[in-house]
């Protein structure tokens, strides 16, 4: 009967009370195999559905499991830990229920077991419990799980390493204190050693753990960096597995976010080039942390932004901006471009040369873009335009831009044209002067002042020639002209 139940359990979603009441006495059976199978069946049921997991909790099975977890053999321990994991993964309330019945201590005891399977199951259960919120993580830490998890990481079995790394990642992601607890045990050194392991799933978890530790504060990030992960992490950016790339770029982003010195470090080791190549080789959400990293690095100072430009990141970002379908990735790319281009005219020129400004403008004006995308592209356009003196890129803006952006464009022209004669000539022949005459501005407004200063750079005849209605005025003069009677 028990094997039948075990086989059928994935397919029985309803009649749960009946099942629970059936399985419960089986847990107390004399034969160990029956106990294990019953536990396994419970675990599968709970794994399938949150309601079933609640039923498991309500059926008062957990204390029984916890009690027998301490005593039985390893197969039972594995099965029981599986049940706890299955129950704890659905919601914080269920995890709290598990904590309330004192399962944490027994799980921690299981972590000290000899059998790697038991350790893996216990670590998995702890990881799932700690995932939900900071209190549960704290409870897990208080039970003394962290040093044992670090010991688990050092074990030779790959699966155990994976699970232990994932558990550490889940513990440290909630708050700086928890991350500090993890760091105090010396987890960083071991995690850093495992970056070079060829197994890609392990790399994912390790990188994720390091990024969760590094994201909280400057000190933690510096500690992660001191473990000498650079430039080894950059090789992970070239990995075949997309999630390894994503987690590696997340880690680099979290480190670069804090201070200019850390960003400097990353730039010195060639991190920007590696991230740029990584962005180029993947699509969609995988790119997002890399794009944000470039934005953070460029935001700190203009030297760093220049280093980002030198690493050929700007063409890559503009490619992302134009080809990505998702709005939030476009918004991130627009933000990053704005951070790069806002510092000095050279930076703005480097951004403008790649023809991204029209793309940004079209994103800002299009009604389909989300509000976030519109705001970010508008800010990027404004900050780049404030410094842009590269006139060929500004000229298309004269024709399509809305009035609030047109003001800045005309302002930039009025700053550059008085000092550059070639630019003046180009401005006239390309039709820019004509377009400027056609702009209607309120008298006394800033736009009118800019237009006046542009007009004062040219002789009056040319300005009159290009002002609208001049051919009509000429024809009127022809009409009213009386030739001399010879």
Rule CB under 8 A: which residues touch another protein? 193-197, 225-226, 228, 230-232, 234-235, 238, 240, 261, 264-265, 267-274, 277, 303, 306-307, 310-311, 461, 465, 471, 474, 477-478, 481, 483-484, 486
Nearer to another protein, 367 or 471 (CB): 471
103 exposed, middle or buried (CB, 10 Å; 0-12, 13-18, 19+)? buried
Residue 242, number of CB atoms within 10 A of its CB: 17
Work out how close the CB of 343 gets to another protein at its nearest, in angstroms, rounded to a whole number.
Answer: 13
Q: How far is the CB of 399 from another protein (least distance, A)?
A: 22
Which lies closer to another protein via its Cβ, residue 229 or residue 385?
A: 229
Query: Least CB distance from residue 335 to another protein, whole Å?
Result: 23
Work out how close the CB of 278 gets to another protein at its nearest, in angstroms, rounded to a whole number: 11
Q: Write the DSSP assignment of 397-438 as a string of letters.
A: HHHH--HHHHHHHHHHHHHHGGG-HHHHHHHHHTTHHHHHHH
User: Which residue is listed with tokens 């060929």?
Assistant: 392
Smaller CB distance to another protein: residue 9 or 311?
311
> Could you tell me the two tokens for 61?
């099975």
Under 8 Å CB-to-CB from 427, ≥6 apart: which residues?
391, 413, 417, 433
Q: Are 280 and 315 in contact (CB under 8 A)?
A: no
Name which of 83 and 304 has its Cβ closer to another protein. Answer: 304
Nearer to another protein by Cβ, of 346 and 420: the residue is 346
What's the token pair of residue 265? 């470090």
Q: Judged by CB, which is closer to another protein: 70, or 196?
A: 196
Nearest-approach distance from CB 194 to another protein, in angstroms: 7
Least Å distance between CB 244 and another protein? 15
CB of 238 to another protein, least distance (A): 7
Q: Name the residue nearer to another protein (CB basis): 193 or 322.
A: 193
> What CA–CA distance (Å, rounded) separates 334 from 381?
9
Instruction: Give the separation between CA 234 and CA 296, rounded to whole angstroms.
Output: 17
CB contact at 8 A, 301 and 260: yes
């Amino acid at each position: 009967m028990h094997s039948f139940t075990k086989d059928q359990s994935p397919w029985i979603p309803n009649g749960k009370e009946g099942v629970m009441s059936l399985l419960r006495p089986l847990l107390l059976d004399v034969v160990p195999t029956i106990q294990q199978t019953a536990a396994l069946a419970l675990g599968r049921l709970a794994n399938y559905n949150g309601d079933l997991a609640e039923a498991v909790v309500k059926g008062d099975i957990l204390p029984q499991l916890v009690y027998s977890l301490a005593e039985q053999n390893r197969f039972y321990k594995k099965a029981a830990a599986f049940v706890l994991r299955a129950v704890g993964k659905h919601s914080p309330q269920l995890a709290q229920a598990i904590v309330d019945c004192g399962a944490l201590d027994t799980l921690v005891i299981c972590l000290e077991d000899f059998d790697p399977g038991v350790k893996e199951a216990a670590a998995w259960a702890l990881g799932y419990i700690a995932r939900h919120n900071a209190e549960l993580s704290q409870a897990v830490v208080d039970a003394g799980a962290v040093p044992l998890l670090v010991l688990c990481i050092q074990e030779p079995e790959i699966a155990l390493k994976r699970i232990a790394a994932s558990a550490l990642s889940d513990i440290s992601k909630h708050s700086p204190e928890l991350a500090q607890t993890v760091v105090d045990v010396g987890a960083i050194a071991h995690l850093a050693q495992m970056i070079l392991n060829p197994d890609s799933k392990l790399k994912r978890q390790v990188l994720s753990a390091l990024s969760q530790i590094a994201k909280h504060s400057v000190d933690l990030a510096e500690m992660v960096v001191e473990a000498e992960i650079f430039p080894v992490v950059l090789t992970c950016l070239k990995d075949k597995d997309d999630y390894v790339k994503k987690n590696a770029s997340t880690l680099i982003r979290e480190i670069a976010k804090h201070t200019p010195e850390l960003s400097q470090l990353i730039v010195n080791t060639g991190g920007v080039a590696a991230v740029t190549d990584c962005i180029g080789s993947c699509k969609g959400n995988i790119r997002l942390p890399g794009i944000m990293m470039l934005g953070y690095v460029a935001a700190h100072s203009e030297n760093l932004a220049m280093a980002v430009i030198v690493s050929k990141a700007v063409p890559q970002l503009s490619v992302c901006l134009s080809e990505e379908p998702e709005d939030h990735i476009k918004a991130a790319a627009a933000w990053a471009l704005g951070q790069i281009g806002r510092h000095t005219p050279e930076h703005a020129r480097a951004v403008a040369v790649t023809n991204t400004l029209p793309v940004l403008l079209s994103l800002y004006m299009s009604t389909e873009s989300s509000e976030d995308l519109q705001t970010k592209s508008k800010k990027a356009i404004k900050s780049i335009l404030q410094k842009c003196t590269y006139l060929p890129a500004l000229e298309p803006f004269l024709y399509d831009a809305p009035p609030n952006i047109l003001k800045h464009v005309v302002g930039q022209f009025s700053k550059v044209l008085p000092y550059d004669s070639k630019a003046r000539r180009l401005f006239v022949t390309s039709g820019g002067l004509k377009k400027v005459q056609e702009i209607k501005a309120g008298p006394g407004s800033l736009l009118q002042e800019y237009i006046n200063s542009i007009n004062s750079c040219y002789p009056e005849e040319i300005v009159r020639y290009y002002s609208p209605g001049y051919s009509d005025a000429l024809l009127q003069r022809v009409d009213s002209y009386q030739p001399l009677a010879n």
